[in-house]
Amino acid sequence: MKFHHMCIMVSDIDEALALWRDVMGFQVIQRRITPDGEMVDQKTMDDIVRVKDAQFEMTLLMNAEGTMMEINRTITPKLVVTPRSELGYDRTGIRELGLEVSDIDHWFEKIRAAGYETQTEYVWNAGVFGRSFLFFDQDGNLIQLFERSPDVQLEEQPVLD
């Protein structure tokens, strides 16, 4: 199985693009209001969202390595912003999006210079695997950037019973 994309629901598409396009270097490959009859019809959209007359502002982005992101803002139903206190590691659900990068120190400075809050004031060592840091997007979602140690070769490990 291959990773296809991650969807992040946001409160403001343009603010999200300031991060994903302008800072992270993704290219917008599609921006539209859905349903539009081409990508998805109204019945399917309503069935997916489980709300009659569901509608999203959707933007698909891709980087040079082929990683794809879907950034959505709901129009119908009304958007409810999740309080930051509900986004912690003490809750179920996906808590962070991890992306592998080169030159982690450059990325740390770039993210902080763009005004995003980092979880720590430094890049931390992830054991023998590499170095990393986490930061929050405009809606409080955690994004982890990770630089793999050049000495680490990831091999399949036996499953523990």
Quote the radius of gyration of the chain (alpha carbons, Å): 18
- Phi and psi angles of residue 131, each rounded to the nearest 5 degrees, phi first: -130, 155
Give yes or no: residues 100 and 137 share one domain: yes
Q: How many domains does the chain have?
A: 2
pLDDT in tens, 9-41: 999 999 999 999 999 999 999 999 999 878 889
Range of the structural domain that residue 52 is part of: 1-80
pLDDT in tens, 40-79: 899 999 999 999 999 999 999 999 999 999 999 999 999 9
Name the DSSP class of 34: E
pTM: 0.86
Domain boundary among 80, 103, 135: 80
